[in-house]
């Protein structure tokens, strides 16, 4: 890994709706004091782990609903383990048997929904003033992409992200000749690192991606995988371009990451408020 890509700065908005059920849907969260304890535990865990509750938790007798904002280094699977584990530990004295059902439900949401995110990525080339048939090569829609892209034995997770990477010092290094091979290589990176590429929009000095990922990998790990692998790929295949443009680092050590989903965060908040 290039050291340039190990200390990244990020602008991000990563929102997740989580649904956790009790074992066999037993009504274990019914007493008011139990609900108060769960609320307290959630506040403690979130403060310690730097999770942020976007709305008060919805605690029903047999399930828990949460809307969380996370950081790029957080892995959804780890977040759920910590939440389940801490609540289970604190409630254990009053329980007879297992607290949680196996698995969970997790979906991303965001400021915009995924339909608008797709349109946004697809329109970036025109948005930046590029016109002509040659610009078709700068856009990629993966014909093999399906959603949900991943299936799991005991849970449902559909985690969609809009990512933006910029070249070092915003130097223009990409063009229509590089784009097709670069797109195919990023798809290969995704297969290896457990994320699926839906769309890509390439500009001379930055890259937009719309992807879906597994819950066991963080957004930061995805970015590092893309940056590190494409850095090596560019040096191997287009070293002359990098040398001529004085862009040997390829990428700026920063990125934007936004979660998107079928529903916006505002819509999920309204749903939880009625729950």
| 159, containing H or E segment | strand 156-167
pLDDT at 275: 61
pLDDT in tens, 13-30: 999 999 999 999 999 998
Instruction: Tell me if 242 is assigned to some domain.
Output: yes
> Average pLDDT for residues 71-88, to the nearest whole number?
97
Instruction: Tell me if 6 is assigned to some domain.
Output: no
Instruction: Tell me if 5 is assigned to some domain.
Output: no
- Residue 96 belongs to domain with CATH number: 3.30.70.1290
Determine the length of the chain. 275
d(CA 223, CA 245): 23
pLDDT at 273: 86
The answer to whether residues 176 and 64 belong to one domain is no
The answer to whether residues 122 and 254 belong to one domain is yes
Residue listed under structure tokens 């399930």: 63
d(CA 185, CA 225): 12
Three-state DSSP state, 209: strand
Which region, left, alpha or beta, applies to residue 43 given φ > 0 means left and ψ of -120 to 50 means alpha? alpha
Domain count across the chain: 2
Q: What is the dihedral of CA 251, 160, 145, 10, to 10 degrees?
A: 0
The answer to whether residues 135 and 26 belong to one domain is no
Is pLDDT of 3 > 70?
no
The answer to whether residues 63 and 132 belong to one domain is no
The answer to whether residues 185 and 147 belong to one domain is yes
State the average pLDDT for the chain. Answer: 94
Instruction: Tell me if 248 is assigned to some domain.
Output: yes
Q: What percent of the chain has pLDDT over 90?
A: 89
pLDDT at 4: 67
d(CA 256, CA 211): 13
Is pLDDT of 93 > 80?
no
The answer to whether residues 221 and 130 belong to one domain is yes
The answer to whether residues 128 and 240 belong to one domain is yes
Phi, then psi, of 266 in degrees rounded to 5: -60, -40
Closest CA to 261 of 155, 140, 117, 105: 117
pLDDT at 1: 56
d(CA 95, CA 262): 36
d(CA 143, CA 197): 10
d(CA 53, CA 132): 46
CB 139 within 8 A of CB 180: no
Phi, then psi, of 122 in degrees rounded to 5: -65, -25
Evaluated on CA atoms 240, 243, 249, 255, the torsion sign reads negative
Instruction: Tell me if 1 is assigned to some domain.
Output: no
d(CA 223, CA 165): 8
pLDDT in tens, 170-201: 999 999 999 999 999 999 999 999 999 999 99
pLDDT at 7: 72
Instruction: Tell me if 7 is assigned to some domain.
Output: no
Instruction: Tell me if 8 is assigned to some domain.
Output: no
Closest CA to 114 of 125, 102, 122, 106: 122
Instruction: Tell me if 48 is assigned to some domain.
Output: yes
Range of 228's domain? Answer: 111-260
The answer to whether residues 91 and 163 belong to one domain is no
The answer to whether residues 179 and 238 belong to one domain is yes
> Average pLDDT for residues 134-152, to the nearest whole number?
96
The answer to whether residues 241 and 133 belong to one domain is yes
Phi, then psi, of 214 in degrees rounded to 5: -80, 155
The answer to whether residues 74 and 170 belong to one domain is no
pLDDT in tens, 29-54: 988 889 999 999 999 999 999 999 99
The answer to whether residues 72 and 160 belong to one domain is no
């Amino acid at each position: 890994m290039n050291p340039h890509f190990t200390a990244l700065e990020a602008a991000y908005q990563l929102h997740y709706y989580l649904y956790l059920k009790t074992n066999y849907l037993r009504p274990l969260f019914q007493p008011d004091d139990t609900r108060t304890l769960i609320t307290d535990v959630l506040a403690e865990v979130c403060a310690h782990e730097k999770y942020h509750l976007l709305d008060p938790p919805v605690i029903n007798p047999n399930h828990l609903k949460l809307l969380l904002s996370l950081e790029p280094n957080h892995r959804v699977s780890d977040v759920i383990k910590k939440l389940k584990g801490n609540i289970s530990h604190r409630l254990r004295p009053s329980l007879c048997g297992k607290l949680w059902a196996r698995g969970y439900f997790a979906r991303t949401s965001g400021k915009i929904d995924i339909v608008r995110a797709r349109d946004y990525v697809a329109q970036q080339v025109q948005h930046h003033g590029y016109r002509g048939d040659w610009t078709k090569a700068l856009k990629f829609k993966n014909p093999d992409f399906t959603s949900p892209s991943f299936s799991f034995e005991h849970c449902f997770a559909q985690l969609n992200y809009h990512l933006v990477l910029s070249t070092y010092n915003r130097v223009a290094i990409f063009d229509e000749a590089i784009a097709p091979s670069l797109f195919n290589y990023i798809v290969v990176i995704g297969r290896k690192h457990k994320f699926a590429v839906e769309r890509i929009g390439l500009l001379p000095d930055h890259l937009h991606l719309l992807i879906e990922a597994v819950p066991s990998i963080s957004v930061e790990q995805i970015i590092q995988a893309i940056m590190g692998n494409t850095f090596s790929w560019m040096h191997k295949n287009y070293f002359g371009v990098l040398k001529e443009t004085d862009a040997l680092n390829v990428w700026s050590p920063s990125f934007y990451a936004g979660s998107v989903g079928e529903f916006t965060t505002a819509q999920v908040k309204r749903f939880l408020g009625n729950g």
